[in-house]
């Protein structure tokens, strides 16, 4: 029996759910490192044939967006609990997991596109900092009713704090696929 749910109630994430969030982000970061392995440094700042972002901008966006998201989740952890929210989230979870990793074009917010020139050599440090920030947030989130606190996503409607915490790994996965497409387009030139 899960003592977290028993002691704190059904609005709290279980220890297994918290561990899953951490593991998913670590797995996404490993996938990112794998996608960058052997990426030519000469191509780091080149944009693909679609005129989109360079590899450096894609990777920097991943970490900027995660920072913004962690700040946002942290700021909402003391919002009012809405008892009916968990029952509404199963469909949202399905949509989030189905469409975020490879969905259509989305617009990134200005705070997550303030590119400062992340270098290839700086990626490992960014991953370490991102995982530390996320781990700290998970420690706080585990003691909060994250299944019954929610706010709107510009792409998916209302999400619970628990679903928002899945976002960094899914978002990273989406951009790893974008990096693969970029790499292929640069090789075709």
Asked if the structure places residue 154 within a domain, the reply is yes
Of 23-27, 111-115, 117-121, 146-150, the poorest mean pLDDT is in 111-115
Asked if the structure places residue 119 within a domain, the reply is no
Asked if the structure places residue 149 within a domain, the reply is yes
- Alpha-carbon distance of 149 to 7, in angstroms, equals 18
Asked if the structure places residue 35 within a domain, the reply is no
Of 52-56, 161-165, 166-170, the poorest mean pLDDT is in 52-56
- Alpha-carbon distance of 66 to 54, in angstroms, equals 18
User: Burial level of 26, CB count in 10 A (0-12/13-18/19+)?
Assistant: middle
Domain enclosing residue 60, as ranges? 50-105+126-189
pLDDT band at 6 (very low <50, low <70, confident <90, very high): very low
Asked if the structure places residue 114 within a domain, the reply is no
Number of domains forming the structure of the chain: 1
Looking at the predicted structure, is the pLDDT value of residue 169 above 50? yes
Residue matched to tokens 């590119």: 115
Task: Give 12's DSSP letter.
Answer: S
127-138 tens-digit pLDDT: 999 999 999 999
User: Burial level of 16, CB count in 10 A (0-12/13-18/19+)?
Assistant: exposed
Looking at the predicted structure, is the pLDDT value of residue 106 above 80? no
The pTM (predicted TM-score) of the whole model is: 0.86
pLDDT at 99: 73
Asked if the structure places residue 16 within a domain, the reply is no
Asked if the structure places residue 81 within a domain, the reply is yes
């Amino acid at each position: 029996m899960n003592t977290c749910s028993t002691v704190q109630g059904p609005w709290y994430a279980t220890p297994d759910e918290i561990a899953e969030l951490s593991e998913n982000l670590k797995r996404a970061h490993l996938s990112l490192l794998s996608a960058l392995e052997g990426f030519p440094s000469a191509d780091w700042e080149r944009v693909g044939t679609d005129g989109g972002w360079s590899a450096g901008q894609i990777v920097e966006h991943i970490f900027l967006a995660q920072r913004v998201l962690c700040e946002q989740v942290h700021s909402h952890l003391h919002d009012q609990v809405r008892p009916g929210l968990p029952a509404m989230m199963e469909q949202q979870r399905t949509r989030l997991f189905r469409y975020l990793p490879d969905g259509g074009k989305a617009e990134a917010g200005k705070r997550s596109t303030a590119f400062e020139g992340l270098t290839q050599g700086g990626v490992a440090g960014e991953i370490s900092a991102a995982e530390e920030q996320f781990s700290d947030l998970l420690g706080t989130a585990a003691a909060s009713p994250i299944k019954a606190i929610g706010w709107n996503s510009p792409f998916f409607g209302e999400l619970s704090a628990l679903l928002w915490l899945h976002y960094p790994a899914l978002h990273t996965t989406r951009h790893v696929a974008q990096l693969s497409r970029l790499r292929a387009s640069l090789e075709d030139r």
